[in-house]
Amino acid sequence: MATSFDNLLYDLDVATGVLTLTVNRPAKLNALNAATIAELDAAAQHALADPAVRAILLTGSGEKAFVAGADIAELAALTAVQAAGASAYGQRVFAQFERSPKPVVAAVNGFALGGGCELAMACHLRVAADTARFGLPEVSLGLLPGYGGTQRLPQLVGKAKALELMLTADMIKADEALRLGLANHVVPQAELLGFCRQLLARMLSKGPVALGLVIECVNAGYDPRQDGYGAEAEAFGRAFQTDDFKEGTQAFVEKRPAVFQGK
């Protein structure tokens, strides 16, 4: 099932429940403008509300870029107040992927720079093509990351390395991203989407409610407003009330594959 926005392709594989979202502005190296971020917002809301969507695979069109940054010409025209509002809105949009109870994997097929790197970091996992490049080069423009990059990059690679990458505006290759923990896997470009779909299939064979609870608890541990251990204990109790728990334990006893219903 395929639906097309102006700047985004929305393609749901009904058989697997995997929704592929493709940022589709190849002439601009898939750079994020306001319209594209609004479409990501609408697509995320729709995907999270649609029970047919079990997981999200986020990528960019073509082989050159995942998302090569923000639309600089559009940004340059903003006032300070408008820029702060655009940053806050982008943060809210990206947070929908981070907080999704459905697994979200970024297939980084090329340049993931600036807002593109920030979008990839908002996904639960990142699989990079061997041709991919990552970076937050905003200081080269007299700016700073505005869609959560200053917060998520230190979580992934540590404070010192994150500061080095942001303060130097250095761009790193896929193998370096893997070494630092920014990427989970690096695969040949031609194998990227297939690898990501296999990875998601492994996740989707597990209990859907439990997947969402794991994501919720990990996020809670990185939120200074929450008690991660308390969130885990509360979620553990909730899991015991689900049909998935009953099916999972019964299947284990009976030595058969579990058939989860997601409730």
Mean pLDDT of the chain: 95
User: Which active-site residues does the annotation give?
Assistant: 118, 138
Q: What is the pLDDT of residue 247?
A: 87
Residue 12, both tokens = 């749901």
Mean pLDDT of 103-124: 98
Q: Are 69 and 30 in contact (CB under 8 A)?
A: no
Alpha helices (H) along the chain = 34-49, 72-76, 80-98, 115-122, 149-157, 159-168, 174-180, 192-204, 208-221, 228-239, 243-253
**Which residue intervals of the chain bear CATH 3.90.226.10?**
8-204
pLDDT interval class at 240 (50, 70, 90) = very high
Please write the tens of the pLDDT for every residue from 38-68. 999 999 999 999 999 999 999 999 999 999 9
Q: What is the pLDDT of residue 2?
A: 62
**Which of 74, 99, 40 is CA-nearest to residue 220?**
99
Cα separation, 198 vs 193, in Å, equals 9
Mean pLDDT of 222-238: 95
DSSP tally for the chain: helices H, then strands E:
11, 11
pLDDT(72) > 90 = no
Cα separation, 199 vs 219, in Å, equals 21
**Which residue intervals of the chain bear CATH 1.10.12?**
206-254
Which of 32-36, 121-125, 251-255 is predicted least confidently? 251-255
Q: Are 37 and 74 in contact (CB under 8 A)?
A: no
Please write the tens of the pLDDT for every residue from 74-99. 888 999 999 999 999 999 999 999 99
Q: Are 125 and 56 in contact (CB under 8 A)?
A: no
Helix 149-157 to helix 159-168 angle, to the nearest 10 degrees? 130
Mean pLDDT of 194-205: 97
Helix 149-157 to helix 115-122 angle, to the nearest 10 degrees? 60
Q: Are 133 and 113 in contact (CB under 8 A)?
A: yes
Mean pLDDT of 135-145: 96
Q: What is the pLDDT of residue 1?
A: 61
pLDDT interval class at 73 (50, 70, 90) = confident
Q: What's 8-204's CATH class?
A: alpha beta
Q: What is the pLDDT of residue 198?
A: 97
pLDDT(69) > 80 = yes
Q: Does domain 206-254 have CATH number 3.30.70?
A: no
Higher-scoring residue by pLDDT: 20, 263: 20
